Amino acid sequence: MSKANPTIMVVEDETLLLQAITKKLKLTNLDVISCASGQQAIDYLGSLDEMPDAVWLDYYLKDMNGLAFMQALKEDPRWTNIPVLVVSNSASPDKVHNMLGLGAKKYILKAEYRLDEIIEMIRQFIQDDEGSGQSATPKPPSPQAGQ
Amino acid sequence: MRNLFSLRTKLIVAFMIVAALVGAVSVYQMQSINRFNALFTDLIDNDFHRLDQLETVRFYTFALEQQAFANIQDMANGETIDVAAERTALTALLQSMRNSENNYVVLLHDDSDKQNKSIGEITAKTEVLGALAGSILDQKVTPSRAELEKVEEELKVQRQELTQLLNAAIVNENREIRQEKAGADAATTRIINLNIVFAAATAAFALGLGLLVASLIARSLNKVKAGAERVANGDFSRSIDVTSHDEVGQLAQTFNDMAVRLRDSYNRLALERQRDEIMLESMSDGLIAINDEGHITLVNSKAAEMLDIETRSTLMGRPLDQELVVYDKNDKQLDPNYSPARAALDGGTPITDIFTYHKQGGSKIILNITMSPVGLEGKERGVIMVIRDVTREMQVDRMKTEFISLASHQLRTPLSAIKWFTEMLIAGDAGKLSSEQMDFAKNVADSTERMIQLVSSLLNISRMESGRIMIDPKPTDLHELVSGIVNDLKAKTVERRQNLVVSVHDGLPKVSLDARLIGQVYMNLLTNAIKYTPKGGEISVFVSRKGDELVSQVTDNGYGIPKAEHHKMFQKFFRAANVAKVETDGTGLGLYLIKAIIESSGGKIWFESEEGKGTTFWFSLPMSGMKAKEGEVTLDN
């Protein structure tokens, strides 16, 4: 059942980035819950009546890393099904694997995507979720600078 | 010319002396025998013969007497006698006697007066006797009995006298014979004695000479032997003192020369050994040698220092596995079935690996150990291990990687901020921009993009160089892989109106490749081709099999690469002059990266290019595929 405006919870500890993301999301008619730390996000989840439609998660947070957050999500049955998009600036195969294994829908590198691309991805998740489906394919190689 | 002093000559001379002696003895013997023979012959030919004649005469004497007596008897009895016959008989007898006597005289070769005299008397008496015996027959008238008796008496007397003479002569002859026989006996004895003496003397001489020659040779040989023993025991101080010119002398001389050379070799070896020891001890790497049973045969001082060994001598001959326990590079127990040293020895090629070692104080160090087999074919098989403490290196490496990871992450964060804010700016999310503002904003965005890619490339290169990139090969369909990349670049080729043709050989089997890594290679080459070919250009990709290699070719008809810059193409950060001006976007890292990828996959990369005409890059990969490699990271993308 789609709402008027889907709500995205953004968990990002870099102030500037949080600002940019929040602004852009709002511009695309999405409601935003901004959290600057993992604990803040979890507290929010605990207090909300309605769950966000998706979570935009940074891996390295001041107070915990992505794994811990994902595990926390599993604690509550209401939270486990929320699609999580991990948007980080470091991605080793181990991290990606683990996060996807814990239920993240996708793991991408911040610096390689435009905001509108990422937002499109989230919209896709929300739509898929109302069907059901999961994509966890890593993006194919992007152009590297040559000569 | 043969050596006059050779052993052969000496021995020949010795033998010739002995032969001469024997010859002399033989000659003397022959002379003695000849003398003996002469005596004997004389005896037979003369003395016995003479005796024989005398006895014959004596016999006929009796016969004559008897015949005469018979005649006288007949006459005395008044019987008639056949005078003619009797006379003939008598004459015959007499003649026989005269013959024998003549023979006797003839046989008296040596003038023995006594014998001459006696034979004269005998001869005379024989005539007398013959005359007497004949006188009877000569009578015309038959003699009277008294006359007959007188003649008979006379005959008897004469006959007795003749017999006496003959006997005397016979006695003489016998005596002479006995004397000569005695002489012969004496001669025989003398010969025998002399023979014995000479034989003994010759034997003794031959023995003496032989012993002398043998002992001379043996003495010289013993000197050589003593010399050899001295050298065998390492004593080079004295040379062999044999100066004869024969073969033994030559042997001694040759041996002395050899000893000198040996001594020089020893000295040289000792020097080299000293040098080797110094080298071993002053090496900055540790060195441990083990034999083919895994027992320690050598430990240099650096190894002892590294591994906290106090007395190296206690380790000699001990099994390596027991004395020096190491763990793998992650400080885990090693597989007990796998011994890298044995693997190196059996495989015949050096093996290098990283190990962790626990020092006495509890600290741990990381060791890079190269194990090289030695002496593969024969004896003295073993393994030489060169040990390097790479703890610091590893630390530095880890720090470097962590730093780069951290730096990349830290760099990316502000870059992301710039990227997104600029994106929103350009999208008009903060208000409409003037065309100039838009221009500026786009420039910022482009530069930001470049920086982001630079950071990515740097991170990848750092990962490649530290060997941490994992290789995860899977059977890959080349057509799918290449098409996928081409698809991703469709937007660009369409925008630049470039024609991109792909041709992957039919029936190419799946090759075991890490799709991410090889995909990166195709991506880089194609991106370059697109970037460095003007709008409307042609780009083609061919993938085919050549023998046991997979060969890929990317060709464009773009700007090309100046000949002068060909050799720099794969250097880090290098961008050819002719394109750096035209196309500012480029880090100069792409080719460096893909060369590293290809070469670590067992392949090669090369190119041909002419400025203004175009460029073709080829790279090969083994059809057998890439080897899997454990790693911590993949390429960033």
Q: Please give, rounded to a whole number of angstroms, the shortest distance from the CA of A73 to a CA of chain B.
A: 25
Residue B192 has pLDDT above 90, yes or no: no
- Name the percent of chain A in helix, strand, coil, to the closest 5: 40, 15, 40
What are the DSSP calls for B478-511, one per residue? Answer: HHHHHHHHHHHTHHHHHHTT-EEEEEE-TTPPPE
Backbone angles phi, psi at B286, to 5 degrees: -80, 150
Per-residue pLDDT at A94: 80
pLDDT tens for each residue of B267-286 = 999 999 999 999 999 999 99
Residue B161 has pLDDT above 70, yes or no: yes
Q: Poorest-confidence range of B181-185, B289-293, B415-419?
A: B181-185
Who's near B85: CB < 8 A, 6+ residues apart?
none
Which residue from B189, B169, B245 is spatially nearest to B8, judged by alpha carbons?
Answer: B245
Residue B122 or residue B144, greater confidence = B122
> Taking CB atoms and an 8 Å limit, are B637 and A144 in contact across chains?
yes
Per-residue pLDDT at A136: 44
**Scanning every residue of chain A, which has its alpha carbon at the shortest distance from the alpha carbon of B456?**
A144
Residue B629: Cβ within 10 Å count: 15
Model ipTM over 0.90:
no
Report the pLDDT averaged over residues B291-313: 89
**DSSP at B44:** I
Distance CA B607, CA B362 (A): 54
Distance CA B383, CA B368 (A): 15
Which residue from B335, B408, B398 is spatially nearest to B366, judged by alpha carbons?
Answer: B398
Distance CA B138, CA B451 (A): 190
Residue A142 has pLDDT above 60, yes or no: no
**Total residues belonging to chain B:** 637
State the sign of the Cα–Cα–Cα–Cα dihedral B328, B333, B337, B341.
Answer: positive
pLDDT tens for each residue of B591-626 = 888 898 898 888 999 999 999 899 999 999 999 888
Q: Which long-range contacts (CB under 8 A, 24 or more apart) does A110-114 make?
A: A110/A17, A110/B412, A110/B413, A110/B416, A111/B412, A111/B415, A111/B416, A111/B419, A111/B452, A111/B455, A111/B456, A112/A139, A112/A142, A112/B452, A112/B456, A112/B637, A113/A87, A114/B419, A114/B420, A114/B423
Tell me the pLDDT band of B110, cut-offs 50, 70 and 90. low
Complete edge-to-edge strand list for the sheet that includes strand A106-109: A31-35, A7-11, A54-57, A84-88, A106-109
Two tokens at B269? 């070896």
Report the pLDDT averaged over residues B241-250: 81
Give B204: exposed, middle or buried? Use CB within 10 Å, 0-12, 13-18, 19+: exposed
> Taking CB atoms and an 8 Å limit, are A147 and B429 in contact across chains?
no
Residue B296 or residue B581, greater confidence = B296
Residue of A20, A139, A147 lying closest to B420 (CB–CB): A20
Q: Which of B583, B617, B637 to mutate to test the interface with A (most CBs of A within 10 A)?
A: B637
Report the percent of chain B where pLDDT is more than 70: 97
Which residue from B214, B221, B280 is spatially nearest to B250, judged by alpha carbons?
Answer: B221
Report the percent of chain A where pLDDT is more than 90: 43
Residue of A24, A111, A115 lying closest to B412 (CB–CB): A111
pLDDT tens for each residue of B73-93 = 888 888 887 888 889 999 999
Does residue B188 sit in helix, strand or coil?
helix
Cβ distance B285 to B388 under 8 Å? yes
Backbone angles phi, psi at B443, to 5 degrees: -60, -45
Sort out which chain B residues have CB atoms less than 8 A from A14's CB and list them: 413, 417
**DSSP at B314:** G
Which residue from B601, B620, B453, B626 is spatially nearest to B551, judged by alpha carbons?
Answer: B620
Distance CA B2, CA A37 (A): 112
First to last CA, chain A: 51
pLDDT tens for each residue of B555-596 = 999 999 998 888 888 887 778 877 777 676 677 778 888 898
pLDDT tens for each residue of B468-508 = 778 888 999 999 999 999 998 988 899 999 999 999 988 88
> Taking CB atoms and an 8 Å limit, are A144 and B591 in contact across chains?
no
Residue of B421, B527, B633 lying closest to A92 (CB–CB): B633
Domain residue ranges of chain A, discontinuous segments joined by +: 7-131
**Scanning every residue of chain A, which has its alpha carbon at the shortest distance from the alpha carbon of B416?**
A111
Q: Poorest-confidence range of B205-214, B252-261, B571-580?
A: B571-580
Backbone angles phi, psi at B67, to 5 degrees: -65, -45
What are the DSSP calls for B48-66, one per residue? Answer: IHHHHHHHHHHHHHHHHHH
Residue of B420, B452, B576 lying closest to A147 (CB–CB): B576
Residue B206 has pLDDT above 90, yes or no: no
- 3-state SS string for B621-634: EECCCCCCECCCEC
- Vertex B469: Cα angle to A101 and B531 (nearest 5): 100
Report the percent of chain B where pLDDT is more than 90: 31
Residue B156: Cβ within 10 Å count: 13
Residue B389 has pLDDT above 70, yes or no: yes
Which residue from A8, A119, A22, A139 is spatially nearest to B519, judged by alpha carbons?
Answer: A139
Residue B489 or residue B335, greater confidence = B489
Cβ distance A54 to A82 under 8 Å? yes
Who's near A81: CB < 8 A, 6+ residues apart?
A129
> Taking CB atoms and an 8 Å limit, are A116 and B423 in contact across chains?
yes
Residue B451 has pLDDT above 70, yes or no: yes
Sort out which chain B residues have CB atoms less than 8 A from A89's CB and list them: 408-409, 412-413, 416
Per-residue pLDDT at B585: 66
Per-residue pLDDT at A135: 44
Tell me the pLDDT band of A145, cut-offs 50, 70 and 90. very low
Cβ distance B229 to B255 under 8 Å? no
Per-residue pLDDT at B636: 67
Q: Which of B413, B454, B472, B570 to mutate to test the interface with A (most CBs of A within 10 A)?
A: B413
Two tokens at B543? 């993938």
Which residue from B555, B558, B554, B539 is spatially nearest to B499, judged by alpha carbons?
Answer: B539
Cβ distance B252 to B220 under 8 Å? yes
Per-residue pLDDT at B17: 86
**DSSP at B557:** -
* C-alpha B185, offset from chain centre: 72
Distance CA B291, CA B314 (A): 16
**Scanning every residue of chain B, which has its alpha carbon at the shortest distance from the alpha carbon of A27?**
B429
Two tokens at A77? 């049955």
Per-residue pLDDT at B314: 87
Q: Please give, rounded to a whole number of angstroms, the shortest distance from the CA of B585 to a CA of chain A.
A: 7
Does residue B232 sit in helix, strand or coil?
helix
Sort out which chain B residues have CB atoms less than 8 A from A94's CB and list them: 632
Residue B421 has pLDDT above 80, yes or no: yes
Q: Which long-range contacts (CB under 8 A, 24 or more apart) does A104-110 make?
A: A104/A57, A104/A66, A104/A70, A104/A136, A105/A134, A105/A135, A105/A136, A106/A135, A106/A136, A107/A136, A107/A138, A108/A139, A109/B412, A109/B636, A110/A17, A110/B412, A110/B413, A110/B416
Q: Which domains does chain B have, with CATH numbers?
A: 7-209 (1.20.120.1730), 283-389 (3.30.450.20), 396-463 (1.10.287), 471-622 (3.30.565.10)
Two tokens at B549? 């290699």
- Residues in chain A whose Cβ is within 8 Å of chain B: 14, 16-17, 20-21, 23-24, 27, 60, 89-94, 109-112, 114-116, 139-147
Q: C-alpha distances in angstroms, B223 versus A88, B216, B217, B230, B257?
A: 94, 11, 10, 11, 15
Look up residue B326 and give its amino acid: V
First to last CA, chain B: 93
> Taking CB atoms and an 8 Å limit, are B413 and A143 in contact across chains?
no
Q: Please give, rounded to a whole number of angstroms, the shortest distance from the CA of A17 to a CA of chain B.
A: 5
- Which CATH code is given to the segment(s) A7-131? 3.40.50.2300
Q: At what angle do helices B391-426 and A115-131 cross, to 10 degrees?
A: 90
Per-residue pLDDT at B286: 93
For chain B, what is the mean pLDDT?
Answer: 86
Distance CA B634, CA B471 (A): 8
Residue of A20, A111, A145 lying closest to B457 (CB–CB): A145
pLDDT tens for each residue of A108-141 = 988 889 999 999 999 988 888 776 544 444 555 5
Distance CA B392, CA B501 (A): 51
Per-residue pLDDT at B99: 93
> Taking CB atoms and an 8 Å limit, are A146 and B408 in contact across chains?
no
Q: C-alpha distances in angstroms, B65 versus B62, B68, B131, B156?
A: 5, 5, 12, 8
Per-residue pLDDT at B403: 80
Look up residue B399 and give its amino acid: M
Two tokens at B557? 């008809």
Residue B232 has pLDDT above 80, yes or no: yes
